[in-house]
Chain A
Amino acid sequence: MDSAIRLRGVVKRFGPITAVDGLDLDVPLGSCVGLLGPNGAGKSTTMKALTAQVIADEGEIEILGHRLPGDSKQARAVMGVVPQLDNLDTSLTVEQNLLVFSHLYRVPSAERKDAIERALVMANLTGRREAKVDQLSGGMRRRLLITRALLHQPRLVLLDEPTVGLDPQVRQELWALIDRLRSEGVSILMSTHYIEEAERLCDDVTIMSHGKAVAVGAPGELIAEHAGPEAIEVYGPPARLSEVEGIARSRGWRTRRTGTSVSILHANGGDPSLEGERRITNLEDVFVLLTGEEIN
Chain B
Amino acid sequence: MAFAPAAEPRRLGRLERAALQGVMVREVVNYSSFWRSSTFSSTVDPTIYLLAFGFGFGSLVSTVGGYDYIDFVGTGIVATTVLFSGAFPAMYSTFVKYEFQHTYDAILAAPVDTEELVTGEGLWIAARTGVYGCVPMLVATVFGLDPSWGMLLVPFIAGLSGLGWAFFGIFIAAKSKAIESFSYWQSGLLTPMFLVAGTFFPLDQLPTWAQIAGNVNPLYHCVELVRHAVFGFEGWADVGHLTFLIGFALLAWRLAIKFMERKLIL
Residues of A within 8 A of B (CB): 1, 3, 6, 14, 48, 51-55, 62, 64-66, 70-71, 73-74, 76-78, 81, 83, 85-87, 89-92, 96, 99-101, 103-106
Contact = CB atoms under 8 A, between A and B. Distances in A.
Contact of B110 (A14, A71, A96, A105): A105
Nearest to A151: B110
Contacts of A3: 1
Given A83-B102, A83-B105, A101 B29 contact: no
Interface in B17-54: 18-19, 21-23, 25-26, 29-30, 33-34
B150 interface: no
A109 B109 CA distance: 21
Contacts of B103: 87, 89
Contact of A64 (B7, B102, B110, B264): B7
Contacts of B26: 89, 100, 103-104
Contacts of B22: 100, 103-106
Q: Is the interface of A mostly helix, strand, loop or mixed?
A: loop
Given A101-B110, A103-B22, A53 B105 contact: yes
B264 A53 contact: yes
Which 6 residue pairs are nearest across A and B when measured between Cβ atoms?
A81-B109, A104-B22, A1-B3, A65-B3, A65-B7, A87-B102
Interface of B: 1, 3-4, 6-8, 11-12, 18-19, 21-23, 25-26, 29-30, 33-34, 101-103, 105-113, 264-266
Nearest to B18: A106
Contacts of A71: 11
Contacts of B102: 83, 85-87
Nearest to A96: B29
A100 B101 contact: no
A53 B3 contact: no
Contacts of B111: 73-74, 76-77, 104-106
B34 to A, nearest CB: 7
Contacts of B8: 74, 77-78
Contact of A87 (B3, B106, B266): B106
B116 to A, nearest CB: 9
